[in-house]
Every structure is written in C-alpha cells, then in structure tokens.
Structure 1
Amino acid sequence: MSHKSARYLPLVVTVGQVVIFPYYIIWLKQVSLTFTLFAWFFASFSFAAAWGYRIYQTKKNKDHSYLFIIYATMGSVYILIGYIKNSYEYLPYVVLPLQVILGLLQGYFRAWHSEQDTYHLHAVHHYLIVGFMMIGFSFIKIISPVVFITIFGFLLLVCGFWEFTRRGKLSVSKKV
C-alpha cells in the first residue's frame, strides 16, 4: 500500500455513513409530513443508490473514479441538510432531490469500494468500529440530529480535499 489514506479513507466514509444513518433517519422523519412521504423519500434514495451502483459497474475506465468529488458532494449535501430549517412549506420538494443525490453517490461509492482489495478487511473493521462508536454516542446528549449530520458533512469534505491533494501527488492504481 503506497499511501495509508488510500487504504483508510474508504473505511472512514463507510463507517461514518452507517453511524450517521440513525440521525439521518430521524431528520428525514422530522421533515416528512406523513409516514407515506417518508417511505417515498426512502424509496427514492434506494432506487438512486441502485442507479449509482449501476453507473459505476458500467464504467469502462474504472481507474478514474473521482472519489474526491463523491466525498465532497456527499459532504456538501450533509452540510446543506444541517442548515435546512424544518419550517419551510416547500421542504419536501427540497428533500427529494437531496435523497436522489445522496443515494446516487452512496451507490457509486459502494460499487467502487466493493471492488477494492481492502474491502473484506474493511467489512470486519466496519462492524467493530460502528459498534464501539454507537456505544460511545449513546452517552452523548443529542441536541439535534443535524449537528451530527453537519459534522459528518464537514468530515466528508475534508476526506474529499485529502483525496484530491493525494491524487495530485500520486499515481493511484485501480486497486487501493
């Protein structure tokens, strides 16, 4: 492994997505007017994730994944979610495109990650880290789920910036 961040950034992003997911679900339920709308939002996320996965799988040149754009865009969406106020009447119309964007990006990232040599090692570490983090988070008093969502968004932006600067310095092969 030529660069440690190439090995650990995908694990940080994967673990972060799973840890932030319960807070994201709480936020999504708060902005949904009904349970039916919540279900439709979640369905749009799932369909978009399948679409993102398929986009990566059909790429001819998988060496150029542009992960820094994926990380930075996901981070930007999470930060935007952190700044959205629940009092807007048009909020459901804003949430739907955000669900599609997040689903598409996460599906693309998952497809890329599953083809990496470190994926199986990450799967084991993923479960262990998430378990310990969730136990730790259980001791933190939550003011609002958007606090955690926004912090994770900033973390993803940092990961995107780090990946961008690392790519500029190194020639990265397909298998990270």
Structure 2
Amino acid sequence: MTKRSERYIPLVVSVGQVAIFPYYILWLKQASLTFTLFTWLFAAFSFSAALGYRVFQSRKNTVKSYVPSVYMGMGVIYITAGFIRNSFEFLPYIALLLQVSLGFLQGYHHAWHIEQKAFRLHAIHHYLIVGTIMVALSFVKILSPMTFITVFGAVLFSCGIWLTFQMKVLES
C-alpha cells in the first residue's frame, strides 16, 4: 500500500463511520419498531464487533488483512440500508443480519487500524474532523438520512476497490 492510502483511507473510514452513525441509528430505529428490539439489535452488533476484533487478533499473518474486502463489505451494508425504504415484516430480520455483519466488519477494522503506524495521528485528527463534519451536516436539511448512508456506503466500497487495485499493482 502506498503511504497516502495508508494515511488517509483508514481515517476516512473511521471518521465516516462516526459521522454517519446517527443517520444509521435513525434507520435502525425505524427498522426495529420497538425499543426492546432496537436494544437487541445493538447487542448483536456489539457481540459481533467483539468477535471481529478477536478474529483479527487471532490471525497469525496480520500483514494480509483483507481490509479492502472489509471496506467493500461495510460499503455494501450501508448501501443496502440506504436503499431499504419500505417498512415490511422481514425488515427486523434484515436489520439483524446487517447489524451482525456490520459489527463484525467494524470490529475487524478497528483491530487492524490500531496496529497501523498512523493510528495515533488518526486518533487526534479523528475527533477534530468528526466535530467539523457533524456541525456541517447539521446545516444540511434537504437530503434524507438515507442519502448520507448510501453515499457513505459508496465511498467505503470505492475505498475497498482502490486498495484492492493498489495491492495488485504492488504485488506485480
């Protein structure tokens, strides 16, 4: 991976996840119908994230990390959530599947990210950028939350494709 990709893509992903999370919570609240189901969906997310974190830590070869696939997977999940607009009886089951998948991928990404050289720098910039983005998003009233979720999913998917392409170029 080139230095520029190592430096910016993990920061884009981690900042984007925090900035998009309030919009994702709105979607999840609509999908869950009750507060009890909403909390169970977040419990599933947390347990799955812990599993993803542990799976990365237990790997012997952390150099080959599958991070481009993780980005593409998270992108597909956000795009899927962004395109689900109708309320139907299977929506809580779909939300559970998305929560478990997203939790696992985010846990895996976090475990990978803290191992990177630029993580300490990212931690500082992360809070500053998230604060700025959240203030800016508070002024945007004409776009639906689903638009933000879908666009962020496309950004994540694009980052995964970009990193896959770069890895193949470096291997050649």
Q: Given the two structures, how large is their TM-score scaled by the length of structure 1?
A: 0.94
Unaligned runs of 5+ in 1: 172-176
- Structure with greater helix percent: 2
Equivalent pairs, count: 171
1:52-104 CA-partner distances (Å, limit 9, x unpaired): 00000000110100111000010011101111123211111111111000000
Where does residue 37 of structure 2 map in the other structure?
37
User: Is the Cα contact below 8 Å between 1:31 and 1:86 reproduced in 2?
Assistant: no
1:5-47 CA-partner distances (Å, limit 9, x unpaired): 1211000000000000010111111111100000000100010
- Distance, in Å, in 1 between the alignment partners of 2:48 and 2:65 is 18
- Distance, in Å, in 1 between the alignment partners of 2:87 and 2:129 is 36
- Pairwise CA distance, 1:2: 4.3
**What letter is aligned with 1:108?**
Y
Where does residue 137 of structure 1 map in the other structure?
137
Where does residue 95 of structure 2 map in the other structure?
95
- Distance, in Å, in 1 between the alignment partners of 2:79 and 2:25 is 15
Where does residue 151 of structure 2 map in the other structure?
151
- Pairwise CA distance, 1:117: 1.0
Q: Segments of 4+ in structure 1 off by > 2 A?
A: none
Write out aligned runs for 1:72-87 (5 A).
72-87=72-87
Where does residue 70 of structure 2 map in the other structure?
70
Identical aligned residues as a percent:
58
CA RMSD, aligned part only?
1.2
Secondary structure at 2:53's aligned position in 1? Answer: helix
Q: Given the two structures, how large is their TM-score scaled by the length of structure 2?
A: 0.96
Unaligned runs of 5+ in 2: none
User: Is the Cα contact below 8 Å between 1:50 and 1:107 reproduced in 2?
Assistant: yes
**What letter is aligned with 2:40?**
W
